[in-house]
Amino acid sequence: MPLDDRYRLAFRLYPYARSADQDAAAPVRHPVVVVGGGPIGIATALDLGLQGIPVLVLDDHEGIGQGSRAICFAKRSLEIAHRYGCAGPMLDKGVVWNLGKVFYQDRKIYDFNLLPEEGHRFPAFINLQQPYFEKFLVERVREAQADGAPIEIRGKNRVEAVEVRGDHTILTVATPEGDYRILADWLIACDGAGSPLRSMMGLNFEGRVFKDSFLIADIRMLSESFPTERWFWFEPSHKAGASTLLHKQPDDVWRVDFQIGWDVDRAEELKEENVRRRLDAMLGPDVEYELVWSSIYTFQCRRMKAFRHGRVIFAGDAAHQVSPFGARGANSGMQDADN
């Protein structure tokens, strides 16, 4: 089911524009090129640009919001975002939480407080839809550019080929107006879990796929029947999933994540009536909600043996992929940018 238009339309933040490099007689050389305008590519560009290091981001889309993915952003990510100057809007928009509860069927078996001390600037976690997290990073780039930070983002610029030379790489970039080539002293690959650059360079990605599927449903629900805590059920009595996870997000949206098994008919499971059947079993027949997103994911735990290959550095999902459960994907990628 497509992401709610209210999320998508606002987030077309860097539409394609022809660049001078496309008309240059010879490929232009850049000190740093970041491939991928996901959260990690933009965070990396901000970090470098704020230090005065010229950085060019190439992204094959024109903005953010390619689906509902991360929601939990950790204290450490907020601390890093604070250094970039954009933690404020994240914290203002995000739903703050420190507490979690774990249930077996209907019985609470464990609870935890991820930040039992007073006096910290940031909470253990905020819940914030990934498109908002990315939007605040891009908005900070725009501010930094206005203050002279040498950051450029080019939308609809897809890297199609890379040639690795001793002290630089040569990139072939596809645009709506044809291909062009540029040189990069340093290349940072933030091109996501499927990393085309990793494949182009023939590099490994070791680990395994977990044979299970998870159905996520983001629903808009005005009911206050759940507190602002992370709730997780093993074998819940509603039987809508082998396990179920519930998180509150901004805009009265809740993330429900059902473990539905490996061997499922995805098209069938994603039919609205079937998603609602699970939600109704969990929430009860009287709770009204609007379905704003649903999708099925499986997860892998993989990493590259080395993240640096000469003058090419891999970061974020391109370098390592983990299960969404520990909320470590984007959060660990933020630490890559910081490193």
Ligand X SMILES: Cc1cc2nc3c(=O)[nH]c(=O)nc-3n(C[C@H](O)[C@H](O)[C@H](O)COP(=O)(O)OP(=O)(O)OC[C@H]3O[C@@H](n4cnc5c(N)ncnc54)[C@H](O)[C@@H]3O)c2cc1C
155 binds ligand X (CB under 6 A): no
Question: Which of 54, 297, 303, 311 is close enough to bind ligand X by CB under 6 A?
Answer: 297
Considering beta carbons, is residue 104 or 112 the nearer one to ligand X?
112
Considering beta carbons, is residue 71 or 144 the nearer one to ligand X?
71
Shortest approach of ligand X to residue 325 CB, angstroms? 8
Considering beta carbons, is residue 65 or 236 the nearer one to ligand X?
65
Q: What is the footprint of ligand X within residues 6-35 (CB under 6 A)?
A: 35
What are the distances in angstroms from CA 188 to CA 33, 77, 90, 154, 158? 6, 19, 25, 15, 14
Q: How many CB atoms lie within 10 A of CB 84?
A: 21
Q: What is the footprint of ligand X within residues 40-79 (CB under 6 A)?
A: 40-41, 58-61, 69-72
Shortest approach of ligand X to residue 76 CB, angstroms? 10
Question: Which of 39, 65, 94, 241 is close enough to bind ligand X by CB under 6 A?
Answer: 39
Question: Which of 162, 216, 283, 312 is close enough to bind ligand X by CB under 6 A?
Answer: 216
Q: Which stretch binds ligand X (CB under 6 A): 106-114, 148-156, 187-195, 238-246?
A: 187-195
Q: Which stretch binds ligand X (CB under 6 A): 92-100, 107-115, 265-273, 323-331?
A: 323-331
Shortest approach of ligand X to residue 192 CB, angstroms? 3
What is the per-residue binding string for ligand X in 90-129, x denoting contact by CB under 6 A? ----------------------------------------
Shortest approach of ligand X to residue 190 CB, angstroms? 5
What are the distances in angstroms from CA 9 to CA 3, 135, 281, 330? 10, 12, 32, 23
Shortest approach of ligand X to residue 213 CB, angstroms? 11
Question: Which of 137, 294, 333, 337 is close enough to bind ligand X by CB under 6 A?
Answer: 333
Q: Which stretch binds ligand X (CB under 6 A): 10-18, 179-187, 260-268, 315-323?
A: 315-323
36 binds ligand X (CB under 6 A): yes
What are the distances in angstroms from CA 23 to CA 26, 154, 180? 9, 15, 9
Considering beta carbons, is residue 276 or 328 the nearer one to ligand X?
328
Evaluate whether 312 touches 32 at the Cβ level (below 8 Å): no
Q: Which stretch binds ligand X (CB under 6 A): 36-44, 94-102, 106-114, 144-152?
A: 36-44
Question: Which of 137, 244, 317, 337 is close enough to bind ligand X by CB under 6 A?
Answer: 317
Considering beta carbons, is residue 9 or 288 the nearer one to ligand X?
9
> What secondary structure, in 3-state letters, does the chain show?
CCCCHHHHHHHCCCCCCCCHHHHCCCCEEEEEEEECCCHHHHHHHHHHHHCCCCEEEECCCCCCCCCCCCCEEEHHHHHHHHHHCCHHHHHHHCEEECEEEEEECCEEEEEEECCCCCCCCCCCEEECCHHHHHHHHHHHHHHHHHCCCCEEEECCCEEEEEEECCCCEEEEEEECCEEEEEEEEEEEECCCCCCHHHHHCCCCCEEEECCCCEEEEEEECCCCCCCCCEEEEECCCCCCCCEEEEEECCCCEEEEEEECCCCCCHHHHCCHHHHHHHHHHHHCCCCCCEEEEEEEECCEEEECCCCEECCEEECHHHCEECCHHHCCHHHHHHHHHHC
Shortest approach of ligand X to residue 157 CB, angstroms? 6
Q: Which residues of the chain form contacts with ligand X (CB under 6 A)?
A: 35-41, 58-61, 69-72, 130, 158-159, 190-192, 196, 216, 297, 316-318, 324, 327-331, 333
